[in-house]
């Protein structure tokens, strides 16, 4: 890829390359995509630029329905995430819902302290900071802030799943057709996903120890 001074020029040129390569590989690729979508997975992840789910999971457009926000946080009163969940679960009928946190997460890291980030970010991160307060003893035993941020990311994923279990569309889909919920952590430094827990159709795999 040539270097571009302007970031917008860069993405428009990148798109031309993508469209051309995709069509060369499969002349019908875009025709097929334009017919509709039937993703099997709803991915709730962090907005971090280093965790683009379709890329890191080696998926194709159409495979993952996506909601991303700061620190992949699921608030019970957030109509944004709730509407994505309702559409994905009740209308697209995804089979799995994934909440993915990650290492080196700026949101999880910010939740290690109480620095004033501005009213919106302070409000948004409040539940993640509450996780830190509730798990103070466990977190203090960890060797460093990196380890603490990863543990907060794990606990935040677990909490997100607990909130999702209360969503009416998810409750119904779990009962009706075995929708399952899965927690993941993506390790940015290794490029690898780690499964934390499964809830729903399958029982916990034992890797998760809620406290």
Active-site positions read 46, 48, 50, 102, 105
Q: Is 59 annotated as a binding residue?
A: no
- Give the count of beta carbons closer than 10 Å to the beta carbon of residue 208: 16
- Determine contact, residues 190/180, Cβ cutoff 8 Å: no
Instruction: Note whether 105 binds Zn ion by CB under 5 A.
Output: yes
CB of 151 to Zn ion, least distance (A): 14
CB of 99 to Zn ion, least distance (A): 12
What's the burial of 122, exposed, middle or buried (CB within 10 Å: 0-12/13-18/19+)? Answer: middle
Output 105 or 152, the one with its CB closest to Zn ion.
Answer: 105
Q: Does residue 110 bind Zn ion (CB under 5 A)?
A: no
**According to the binding rule CB under 5 A, does residue 48 interact with Zn ion?**
yes
Strands 180-187 and 192-199: antiparallel
Size of the site for Zn ion (CB under 5 A): 4
Q: Give phi and psi for 44, each to the nearest 5.
A: -110, 110
* Choices 41-49, 53-61, 78-86, 184-192 (CB under 5 A): range interacting with Zn ion: 41-49
Burial class (CB in 10 A: 0-12, 13-18, 19+), 165: middle
Instruction: Indicate which single residue of 46, 88, 94, 149 sits in contact with Zn ion (rule: CB under 5 A).
Output: 46
Query: Which of 99, 103, 88 has its CA nearest to residue 147?
Result: 103
Min dist CB 72 to Zn ion, Å, is 7
Closer residue to Zn ion, CB minimum distance, 48 or 198 = 48
Residue 107 contacts residue 117 (beta carbons within 8 Å): no
Tell me which residues touch Zn ion (CB under 5 A). 46, 48, 105, 107
Annotated binding site for Zn(2+): 46, 48, 102, 105
Residue list, annotated binding site:
46, 48, 102, 105
């Amino acid at each position: 890829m040539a270097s571009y001074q302007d970031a917008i020029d860069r993405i428009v040129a990148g798109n031309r390359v993508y469209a051309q390569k995709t069509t060369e590989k499969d002349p019908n690729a875009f025709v097929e995509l334009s017919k509709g979508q039937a993703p099997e997975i709803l991915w709730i992840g962090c907005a971090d630029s280093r965790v683009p789910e379709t890329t890191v999971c080696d998926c194709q457009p159409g495979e993952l329905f996506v909601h991303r926000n700061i620190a992949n946080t699921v608030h019970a009163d957030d109509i944004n995430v709730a509407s994505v969940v309702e559409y994905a679960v009740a209308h697209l009928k995804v089979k799995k819902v994934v909440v993915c946190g990650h290492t080196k997460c700026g949101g999880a890291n910010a939740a290690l302290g109480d620095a004033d980030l501005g009213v919106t970010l302070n409000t948004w991160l409040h539940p993640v900071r509450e996780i830190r307060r509730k798990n103070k003893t466990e977190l203090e035993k960890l060797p460093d802030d990196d380890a603490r941020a990863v543990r907060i990311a794990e606990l935040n994923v677990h909490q997100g799943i607990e909130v999702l279990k209360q969503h009416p569309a998810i409750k119904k889909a779990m009962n009706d057709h075995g929708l399952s919920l899965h927690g993941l952590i993506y390790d940015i430094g290794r490029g690898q996903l780690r499964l934390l827990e499964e809830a729903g159709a399958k029982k916990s795999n034992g890797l998760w120890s809620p406290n």
